[in-house]
């Protein structure tokens, strides 16, 4: 073994080492490019629960802006709580949600839709008289059919619907 052999060996050996390093680097780059993007697959209900848990317990509303916001929020709550028929002047809607409970089956002698009894009562009392019976209640029928939130107009519309 002479000096020439040694340097030839060292050149070849370092060539191999460098080649391996390049190869390793290429593999690392390839692996990184093939790796799928980590997707954070958040469960929507978990997110919602987390948001509820960290939500402020109460808000502070102050000044006229705050009062307006409070009034708006209260109106929204009321609107959400009020049944859809409140304020509706559609007699069929009122009848079908409130009055039908008794009048469909004729509970306790409640005159049914289109019945002779109802026609007879109408002949006796007229629309106003029948509406007044509903407003004030009549025997088993509670005042306003048990719905004090309904207006006279709504009750009248319901009576009109019954007489159609
Ligand atoms: C809890 C049951 C009940 C509900 C709810 C009810 N009614 Fe009646 N209604 C009756 C009964 C019972 C009578 C018959 C009363 C009698 O003649 O003794 C009656 C009678 C009537 C009469 C005839 C009144 C008269 O002067 O002869 C009308 C009109 C009437 N109801 C309309 C309505 C309308 C409109 C509603 C809904 C807003 C309604 N009722 C809800 C039980 C009910």
Rounded to the nearest angstrom, the distance between the alpha carbon of 81 and the centre of ligand 1 is 26
Q: Which CATH class is domain 91-163?
A: mainly alpha
- Residue 13 confidence (pLDDT): 95
Does 1 score more than 70 pLDDT?
A: no
Mean pLDDT for all residues in the chain? 83
In tens, the pLDDT along 34-49 reads: 887 777 777 888 888 8
- Residue 78 confidence (pLDDT): 61
Quick one: which atom of ligand 1 is closest to the CA of 144? 38
Does 163 score more than 60 pLDDT?
A: yes
**Higher-pLDDT residue of 61, 1:** 61
Identify the residue whose C-alpha is closest to ligand 1 atom 27: 121
Q: Give the pocket of ligand 1 (CB within 6 Å).
A: 94, 98-99, 101-103, 107-111, 121, 125, 130, 133-134, 138-142, 145-146, 155, 158-159, 162
In tens, the pLDDT along 62-102 reads: 667 777 777 777 777 665 555 544 556 688 888 888 888 88
Percent of the chain whose predicted confidence (pLDDT) is above 70 = 85
Counting ligand 1 atoms within 8 A of each CB, the residue from 108, 134, 147 with the most, and so the one to mutate, is 134
3-state secondary structure the chain: CCHHHHHHHHHHHHHHHHHHHHHHHHHHHHHHHHCCCCCCCCCHHHHHHHHHHHCCCCCCCCHHHHHHHHHHHHHHHHHHHCCCCCCCCCHHHHHHHHHHHHHCCCHHHCCCCCCHHHHHHHHHHHHHHHHHHHHHCECCECHHHHCCCCCHHHHHHHHHHHHC
Whether the predicted model's global pTM rises above the 0.85 cut:
no
């Amino acid at each position: 073994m002479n000096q020439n052999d040694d340097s030839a060996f060292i050149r070849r050996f370092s060539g191999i080492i460098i080649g391996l390093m390049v190869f390793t680097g290429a593999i690392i780059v390839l692996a990184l490019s093939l790796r799928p993007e980590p997707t954070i697959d958040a469960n929507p209900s978990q997110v919602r629960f987390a948001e509820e848990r960290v939500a402020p317990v109460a808000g502070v509303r102050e000044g006229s802006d705050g009062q307006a916001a409070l009034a708006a929020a209260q109106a929204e709550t009321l609107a959400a709580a009020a049944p859809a028929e409140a304020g509706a002047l559609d007699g069929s809607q009122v009848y079908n949600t409130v009055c039908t409970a008794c009048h469909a089956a004729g509970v306790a002698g409640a005159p049914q839709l289109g019945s002779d009894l109802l026609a007879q009562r109408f002949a006796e009392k007229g629309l106003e008289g029948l509406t007044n019976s509903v407003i004030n209640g009549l025997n088993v029928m509670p005042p306003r059919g048990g719905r004090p939130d309904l207006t006279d107009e709504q009750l009248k519309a319901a009576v009109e619907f019954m007489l159609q």
